[in-house]
Chain A
Amino acid sequence: MNASAILAAIGTVAALAAVLGGILGWVATRLRSDPDALVERIDALLPQTQCAQCRYPGCRPYAEAIARGEADIDRCPPGGEATVRALAALLDREPRPVDPHYGTTRAPRVALIDEDRCIGCALCLPACPVDAIVGAPRLMHTVIAAHCTGCELCLAPCPVDCIAMVEPAATSPGRAVA
């Protein structure tokens, strides 16, 4: 095989590759991906407790991490086995038990403020991610049980440790055990 034939071969393939690369580059600029749709669908399967036990600051950041491929689907203790199974069904993966490293699944509980001990410091109010605590500085605080998701984020800021986690009352709308 002579040199010109080899050059012709290399040149043709190189030219072809360049053209294709150019087309691909142009197509890439025209087609923007919208990852939100997938994140929405994942987020819809999470229990919305906003407890951060998965090490992400809320359910939506966790959903985004799953969509990006950063986090696995077994990190949600409040969602429990049902959530892992639902996520596995959506993303076509193998279901598995919740990773105990991130917490254990328990029966749902709500926060209860012991009014005898509450000093009205209002430190627990901003800690609640769903604004379920009603109160103001130097006025009695109380948790609206129907809105409490059981995330336990209010326990730490309380300086007098007056918040306890209790079973939801029998009259509140039925809660499923995860």
Chain B
Amino acid sequence: MLFRYLLILMLLLPIKAFGLIEVDITRGNLSPLPIAVTPLSIDDKSKKSFEKILKKKDIAAEISTVIENNLKQSGLFNPLNKDAFLQKSDIAHLKPRFEDWALIKAQALITGKVTFVDEKIRVEFRLWDVLAGKEMMALAFTTVSSNWRRVGHIITDKVYERLTGEKGYFDTRIIYVAEEGPKTNRIKKLAIMDQDGFNTKYLTLGNELVLTPRFNPTNQMVTYLSYFRNLPRVYLLDIETGIQEVVGDFPGMTFAPRFSPDGRKIIMSFAMDGNSDIYTMDLENRIVERITNHPSIDTSPSYSPNNKYICFNSDRSGYQQIYVMKSDGSNVKRISFGKGIYGTPVWSPRGDLIAFTKMHKGKFYIGVMRTNGSGERLLTENFYQEAPSWSPNGRVLIFYRETKTDEKGEGFSAKLWSIDLTGYNERLVETETDASDPSWSSLLSN
């Protein structure tokens, strides 16, 4: 994994912060915190070296742009226009003139310095509380130069955590299905990208239909559905080696796979003679267990983060609803009782909520409810959208939405979107192609 290359993570100045600035992320944030992200400073020699190996004119400015975009996308911060900055960034990094930053209404300030050291990139940064006139945080990272975007993401995670009190979600990746071509004959490939849409890589060629990729807890493996040789089966893919294998030996379609939070099992549906039930396979001893046994369709299983429960989708009541059971399959309880039908339940990494897709009167909603079904909240409504996946801190959901591009409903486009748990900050997540079935990784550097 890339974080192996994060050689040094050292504290520059272990000054206890006073934490006057606080960002509340539990409500829709209508006045994002004004923050000045200075272009990181860099000496001429380092600049030239990076230009040569990375083909980037000013790597320091590029890293600060990564940070700035992340902060902006979170909806919690308002990065200020650099044209208004009064103090030069190299001097500000040593000692900010807080009056200058207060004058442009900045409440927080990020400064930093980039140097070229033994073919590697070293980035140090400081977070300052402008009104209190205090340094809140100072860190330095050294890593292989090609890793420079990740440094920007890790810095954003540190700033986010320092100011909100919760872990960030910026040094993460999204795996999804890249889609191209007409709707009646879509080409689908597995694709992986950084959370901000950069560094896209395609993991399959598009020769066969692939659907629903999901990461394991360490982000090294992916489980997904492939129609290889026209036999729809759940596969396991090692991202680094590219080695794939079929999960289990089932005499019919297996689908809707996910890892258990401890990474030891894959849970999925197996369809036979018109009936789909939920099964698990232990990845170590290959033992297959049947979890549900009901003549209805049981699918879309998702474990609670403590491995003790499973939420799933079943039409045993006549229509698709959400159910929760113990992970051995006992104690099945229906939890969705609102108007409409419900699908794709996913347990929050925090454990307290289940996200879902709801269909009602020709509309599709992404929503959340408590694990006993109470407190249902719909976050977003559209003509067609589904398959929410949680950010690792449980504060943001990513999902996909299909839209018609003309009046007759002929044109067609599928894109990834994200929305905060608060129901605010809905954003398009840029992808190179059309995209569906997003799955969010856990934090890469942890």
Answer whether A and B are interacting partners.
no
Interface residues, chain A, CB within 8 Å of chain B? none
